[in-house]
Structure 1
Amino acid sequence: MPSPAPERKGQRTRQRILSAARRVFAEVGYEKATIRGIAAAADVDKSSVIQYFGTKSNLFREAVHWTIPVAELTVTDPAETAENYLRGLLSGWAAEPNGPMAVLLRNSMTSEDALELLREQVTDHAVSSVAATIDEPDARLRAALLSAMLMGIASQRYLLRLPDLAAASDDEIVALTVPLLTALISPGSAAGSTTILGEPETS
């Protein structure tokens, strides 16, 4: 059987290093993590980590990079858009507890570098992308509040594991939160409607 192309093998090695880096950063934090330790977790030489990423800072930045597929989640109905954002967040965190956003949030509590990177990603990507879909003069503030609510739910449910949030079902969280998110996305559309366990009802 022919050996895999060098480029394909290199991509696999790169992804293995990124996956190992997220595990290490989640377990010991950015400050205590070392390139040597990450290399060992990825079962590669330290020189390979340096070859692909250069420094621990560069590796961390790439390992915790995340994006919100705003274009895919945004639809004509603001309430459905809000639910798409929230369910996407809940399912993503449940499926990948050591995903990029989770690792970045954990590390932002103990590392100034991680905190600054979190601010950068939230401001430059999340807030800007969502604000572009909101037709209001205070769109950026609305997008920032929406982002704060979503990240607050995620961090308190999955990182702090607050009992009431951890025990609640996705549908219960959606039912109580979507009307609030909808009011931020499109204030006029939120009036006169409620959501019960994910099913919108007109009052």
Structure 2
Amino acid sequence: MTGAPDAAPPVSPDVPGDPPLPAAPAPAHGANPGAPRPERKGERTRRRILQAARRRFAQVGYDRATIRAIAADAGVDKSSVIQYFGTKQELFREAVHWTIPIAELTTPDPVRTVDNYLRGMMASWAADPDSPMAVLLRTSMTSDEAAELLNRHVTEQAIGPVAETIRAQDARLRAAMASAMMVGIATHRYLLRTPDLAGADLEDVLRLAGPVIRSLVAPDVAPSGHPPPPPDPAAPAAVPPSATA
């Protein structure tokens, strides 16, 4: 499932070591009060550190990445990284944090819902190979801590919310299988670069994967995307195999 990268949250003015921020001046004559405010220096620094951390974790893994190297990549002192994030563990957790807006992607139409899931994940990976989810997946191959964090993220962000939309007793198993399929497709297409999948047209991938995933998340809907027709009362009843033995 898809997961889009979170925007880095703004730094609180009372972060230890940061000088107090002056009060915002009144808007100049003719200025648009609704225009986005300029990004503060502390916010830019924080965002730059997170971007450098994702690249470094993706390249060398969690265990080999150091705060000193991440600071150098970001063009800041090691003390700045510690000031904003404290430890490498906390920096890693923030760098790979992602959320999936399941409620926004889910619609009354299961065909559209699955298409939203797939397109959202593919678009996220295609736009940023160092997205939080991609980095977390890479590092989980070599780090127990990253693997544990990935399991928790997938369970909380994907399996749980999707299971709540499935009308079936085995909803969580269905959600887990759908999540595994979508992550697997994205991994082979964008991370492993499996030739046949990486070179395939996205619409072909969606056309083939959609019905399979839809059968898991919408078990009461036929492959056509509509509820299956009621049984024909005139049709002969199935004969159990033991009756003809």
Do these two structures clear the TM 0.5 threshold for a shared fold by scoring above it? yes
Larger radius of gyration: 2
Quote the Cα distance in structure 2 between the aligned partners of 1:125 and 1:97: 20
Residue 161 of structure 2 is aligned to residue 129 of structure 1? yes
Check whether the contact 2:211–2:223 (CA below 8 A) recurs between aligned residues: no
Q: What is the identity, as a one-letter code, of the residue corresponding to 2:44?
A: R
Are the structure 2 counterparts of residues 98 and 72 from structure 1 closer, same or farther at C-alpha, using a change threshold of 3 Å?
A: same
Root-mean-square deviation (Å): 1.7
* Residue 77 of structure 1, CA deviation: 0.5
Structure 2 CA distance for aligned equivalents of residues 90 and 125 of structure 1: 17
Aligned to 2:108: 76
Q: How many angstroms does 1:135 deviate by?
A: 2.0
Residues 1:94 and 2:126 aligned together: yes
Hey, what does 2:188 align to over in structure 1?
156
2:174 maps to: 142
Percent of residue pairs bearing the same amino acid type = 63
The residue type equivalent to 1:145 in the other structure is: M
Q: Alpha-carbon deviation of 1:8?
A: 2.4
Task: Show the 5 A alignment for 1:25-104.
Answer: 25-104=57-136
Matched, 1:193 2:224: yes
Partners of 2:224 and 2:218 lie apart in 1 by: 13
Q: Secondary structure at the match of 1:30?
A: helix
* Per-residue CA distance 1:125-149 (angstroms, 9 max, x = gap): 2111111221222111111111100
Change (3 A) 1:50 1:157: same
User: Structure 1 residues 43, 140: CA separation in 2 closer, same or farther (over 3 Å shift)?
Assistant: same
TM-score relative to the length of structure 2:
0.75
Deviations 1:70-107 (Å, cap 9, x if unpaired)? 11111110111001000111111000111001101111
Q: Which amino acid aligns with 1:38?
A: I
Matches of 1:13 and 1:126, distance apart in 2: 31
Residue segments in structure 2 that go unaligned for 5+ positions in a row: 1-20, 23-38, 227-245
